[in-house]
């Protein structure tokens, strides 16, 4: 009888803990989507795992960055147990999403948490260039991001800035030493990218940089 009673107590305890965990799970992802940093911090202090994934397979930090919940993202980046190097199936990191969206303060904080600036394949610099975010481009370059990093098809940040970003981003990369003559696996150059993106100013800027690289003839 005593053994049976002890088993019932353990079973009730396990059931209670299960309900509490389920409640915390729902509360956490609701707090992330509501951008409620106070609720997130309270759950983290109670021991909730910040790297828990939602039903779609995303952790809270990634959701916060994708949905623009910046207070939530800030709280999660600040929490030491948050994995800032989590990758989605496309091999995108939180730093890449922050760079693409132009969240410069979060980019700075992620870098301070040792987020990988020079991951293989698509890089944060590719994403910052695609978004045309000059300040973030310069921030990443200051952290020794490789300026001519190659994506899986050998496209460079300059090519992405030329087609999708901004002329200011193109100039920033060129001024920092990006090579305007490189071509990707399809044989396309940064000028080709700019022309495909119907960006004549970017194409002219890159073409001028190529001309300036040509050795001057002797008179």
Which sequence spans correspond to the domains of the chain?
Answer: 1-83, 104-214
Report the C-alpha gap between 59 and 51 in whole angstroms: 5
pLDDT tens digits for range 66-94: 999 999 999 999 999 999 999 999 999 99
Please tell me the predicted confidence (pLDDT) of residue 213: 81
Q: Which two tokens stand for residue 90?
A: 């496309």
pLDDT tens digits for range 52-71: 999 999 999 999 999 999 99
> Can you state the angle between helices 104-112 and 70-78, rounded to 10 degrees?
10
pLDDT at 6 over 50: no
Same fold, 1-83 and 104-214: yes
- In CATH terms, is domain 1-83 a member of 2.60.40.420? no
Please tell me the predicted confidence (pLDDT) of residue 22: 52
Residue 51: phi, psi to the nearest 5? -95, 10
Please tell me the predicted confidence (pLDDT) of residue 113: 97
Please tell me the predicted confidence (pLDDT) of residue 216: 58
- In CATH terms, is domain 104-214 a member of 1.25.40.20? yes
Provide mean pLDDT across the span 89-117: 97
């Amino acid at each position: 009888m005593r053994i049976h009673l002890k088993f019932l107590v353990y079973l009730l305890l396990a059931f209670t803990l299960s309900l509490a965990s389920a409640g915390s799970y729902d509360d956490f992802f609701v707090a992330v989507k509501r951008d409620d940093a106070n609720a997130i911090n309270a759950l983290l202090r109670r021991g909730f795992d910040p790297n828990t994934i939602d039903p779609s397979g995303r952790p809270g930090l990634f959701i916060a960055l994708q949905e623009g919940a910046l207070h939530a993202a800030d709280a999660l980046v600040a929490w030491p147990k948050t994995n800032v190097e989590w990758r989605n199936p496309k091999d995108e990191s939180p730093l890449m999403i922050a760079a693409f969206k132009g969240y410069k303060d979060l980019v700075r904080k992620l870098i301070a948490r040792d987020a990988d600036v020079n991951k293989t394949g698509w890089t944060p610099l590719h994403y910052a260039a695609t978004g045309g975010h000059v300040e973030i481009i310069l921030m990443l370059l200051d952290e020794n991001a490789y300026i001519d990093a190659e994506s899986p098809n050998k496209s460079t940040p300059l090519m992405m800035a030329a087609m999708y970003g901004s002329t200011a981003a193109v100039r920033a990369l060129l001024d920092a030493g990006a090579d305007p003559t490189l071509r990707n696996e399809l044989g396309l150059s940064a000028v080709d990218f700019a022309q495909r993106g119907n960006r004549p100013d970017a194409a002219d800027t890159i073409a001028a940089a190529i001309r300036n690289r040509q050795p001057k003839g002797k008179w």
